[in-house]
């Protein structure tokens, strides 16, 4: 059992190790990343089993969503780290003469805290830890108590692969998390809900600790289907995404706005896509994931019951297995409660709108808290591009879902109530390092421009030179 004292000792041991400078050499970091990758491959069967136990994931879904992306991202870090970490060299400018060049070093923060979630407990733990390692930091992990099997496997994994003064995992509930947050960290990375994100930010503010937050978004991620969209294609992609992890994904579609001119046709295609991919009764399919806890299942079932008269597909579940079928609710007004909250489950409210009034719809969405993701399906690329360049959200797709986060070299991030900071690849390296500017002075040929006197002939001459230099 952890106490404030034991957690404080863990942080002190990591700070002592960090100050030895062992994590600074790039070659050492690459060696650790290679060790991490090899260990993930060696332990993948344990991870897959834990994901099955916690979330009912099939082997293929576990590899697709957790194991494979980790290996891909660590490979990117191994190949890119030397380039990313290279100091930037800048021309200092005539005002700094005779110091011609200034360097910007990418320095690790130091001792970091990573708080990981239950929905992708392997990916969103190891993936973030890899970014922190890439930056040259030590890491203390507070993993979710809800995904108990994954947490147990991860604790054993990190203890076997790395010394505790470099990487260590702390398990436990909210009380342990608060003990962790009470410590002084050099960087905190939290993935989870906006409400807990506010608490993390408030605790970090006590020590002015920089924080990265990856949050689901207070009012959910919108998908907009216009009347000119390829309905069959849109339905197929949306069905796949909503089935993935039973909707427990921070970038998943929370509600769909569908042009009323094609709403009935779209719903027919969406029903067909669900049946084609998971069968008539998803809750009886072994490949279909389950909700994380009884409380999560009960919350989902309660929402569904409140809209029972408008359920046009699904609406069934099995409390014993915690599986609730993908459920289409139609029609839903944009101002109803279910369309204004992140659901994090297989429920799918559909909001009809007049296609000619789509800009008014987008204004309503923009007035709410910024989502983590946005998806639009349309053939009108001018409108789609304008939406993507004017709406505030973390990331998104045009005529596609979720795959934007799988692209190498681009950030995964949120804004406002969907988070702050970014990671994946080089962006993760940047998130876990701070730019440190260093100018090297000289002992000869120094100009006296900055020195007194500032008046008289000398002052006039200095003013002329300053104005000349600043052109």
Report d(CA 352, CA 332) in Å as an integer: 7
Is the pLDDT score of 128 beyond 90? yes
Which value, to the nearest 10 degrees, does the dihedral of the CA atoms of residues 200, 201, 204, 210 take? 120
Q: Which CATH number fits domain 4-217+420-434: 3.40.605.10, 3.50.50.60, 3.30.300.180, 3.40.640.10?
A: 3.40.605.10
Is the pLDDT score of 445 beyond 90? no
Tokens of 292: 């994380």
| Burial class of 333 by CB neighbour count within 10 A (0 to 12, 13 to 18, 19+) | exposed
Is the pLDDT score of 348 beyond 90? yes
Is the pLDDT score of 470 beyond 80? no
Residues of the chain with CATH 3.40.309.10: 222-368+373-411
pLDDT band at residue 169 using 50, 70 and 90 as cut-offs:
very high
Contact 239, 202 (CB under 8 A): no
Contact 247, 399 (CB under 8 A): no
Is the pLDDT score of 453 beyond 80? yes
Is the pLDDT score of 467 beyond 90? no
pLDDT at 217: 86
**Coil, strand, or helix at residue 353?**
strand
Q: Which of 203, 214, 269, 283 is catalytic?
A: 214
Please state the rounded mean pLDDT for residues 232-254: 98
Is the pLDDT score of 252 beyond 90? yes
Residues of the chain with CATH 3.40.605.10: 4-217+420-434
Tokens of 25: 């050499």
pLDDT in tens, 6-52: 999 999 999 999 999 999 999 999 999 999 999 999 999 999 999 99
Per CATH, the homologous superfamily of domain 222-368+373-411 is Aldehyde Dehydrogenase; Chain A, domain 2 (3.40.309.10)
Mean of all residue pLDDT scores within the chain: 96
Is the pLDDT score of 471 beyond 80? no
Question: DSSP letters of 29-54?
Answer: HHHHHHHHHHHHHHTHHHHHHHHHHH
Query: pTM for this structure?
Result: 0.96
Q: What percent of the chain has pLDDT over 70?
A: 100
223 counts as catalytic: no
Report d(CA 204, CA 184) in Å as an integer: 8
Q: Which of 250, 300, 345, 397 is catalytic?
A: 250
Q: What is the DSSP letter of 262?
A: T
Compute CA distances 336 → 222, 333, 369, 429, 464, whole Å.
14, 5, 15, 41, 66
pLDDT at 447: 79
pLDDT at 10: 98
Report d(CA 139, CA 108) in Å as an integer: 12
Is the pLDDT score of 181 beyond 80? yes
Q: Which helix (H) or strand (E) holds 439?
A: strand 433-439
pLDDT at 1: 82
pLDDT band at residue 449 using 50, 70 and 90 as cut-offs:
confident
Q: What is the DSSP letter of 371?
A: P
250 counts as catalytic: yes
pLDDT in tens, 362-404: 999 999 999 999 999 999 999 999 999 999 999 999 999 999 9
Contact 207, 184 (CB under 8 A): yes
């Amino acid at each position: 059992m952890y106490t404030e004292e034991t957690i404080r000792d863990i942080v002190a041991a990591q700070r002592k190790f960090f100050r030895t400078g062992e994590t600074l050499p790039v070659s050492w970091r690459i060696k650790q990343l290679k060790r991490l990758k090899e260990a993930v491959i060696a332990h993948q069967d344990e991870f897959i089993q834990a994901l099955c136990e916690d979330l009912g994931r099939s082997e293929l879904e576990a590899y697709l969503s957790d194991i494979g992306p980790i290996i891909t991202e660590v490979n990117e870090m191994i190949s890119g780290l030397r380039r990313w970490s290279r100091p930037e060299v800048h021309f200092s400018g005539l005002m700094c003469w005779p110091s011609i060049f200034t360097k910007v070093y990418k320095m690790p923060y130091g001792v970091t805290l990573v708080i990981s979630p239950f929905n992708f407990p392997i990916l969103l733990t190891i993936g973030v830890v890899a970014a922190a390692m890439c930056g040259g930091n030590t890491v203390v992990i507070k993993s979710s108590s809800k995904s108990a099997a994954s947490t147990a496997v991860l604790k054993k994994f990190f203890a076997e692969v790395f010394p505790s003064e470099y990487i260590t995992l702390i398990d436990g509930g909210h009380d342990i998390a608060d003990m962790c947050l009470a410590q002084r960290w050099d960087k905190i990375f939290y993935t989870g809900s906006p409400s807990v994100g506010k608490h993390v930010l408030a605790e970090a503010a006590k020590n002015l600790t920089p924080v990265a937050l990856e949050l689901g978004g207070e009012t959910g991620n919108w998908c907009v289907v216009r009347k000119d969209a390829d309905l069959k294609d849109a339905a197929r992609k949306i069905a796949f995404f909503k089935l993935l992890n039973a909707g427990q994904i921070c970038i998943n579609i929370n509600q769909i706005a569908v042009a009323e001119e094609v709403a009935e046709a779209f719903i027919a295609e969406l029903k067909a896509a669900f049946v084609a991919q998971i069968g008539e009764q998803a809750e009886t399919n072994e490949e279909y994931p389950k909700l994380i806890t009884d409380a999560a299942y009960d919350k989902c079932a309660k929402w569904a019951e409140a809209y029972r008269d408008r359920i046009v597909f699904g609406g069934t579940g099995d409390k014993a297995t915690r599986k609730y079928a993908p459920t289409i609710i139609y029609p839903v007004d944009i101002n109803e409660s279910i369309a204004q909250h992140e659901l994090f489950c297989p429920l799918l409210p559909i909001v009809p709108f007049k296609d000619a009034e789509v800009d008014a719809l987008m204004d309503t969405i923009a007035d709410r808290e910024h989502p983590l993701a946005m998806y639009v399906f349309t053939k009108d690329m001018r409108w789609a591009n304008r939406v993507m360049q004017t709406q505030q959200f973390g990331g998104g797709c045009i005529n596609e879902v979720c795959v934007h986060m799988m692209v190498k070299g681009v950030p995964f991030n949120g804004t406002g109530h969907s988070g702050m900071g970014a990671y994946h690849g080089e962006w993760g390296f940047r998130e876990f390092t701070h730019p440190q500017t260093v100018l090297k002075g000289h002992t000869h040929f120094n100009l006296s421009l900055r020195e007194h006197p500032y008046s008289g002939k000398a002052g006039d001459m200095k003013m002329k030179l300053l104005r000349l230099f600043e052109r």
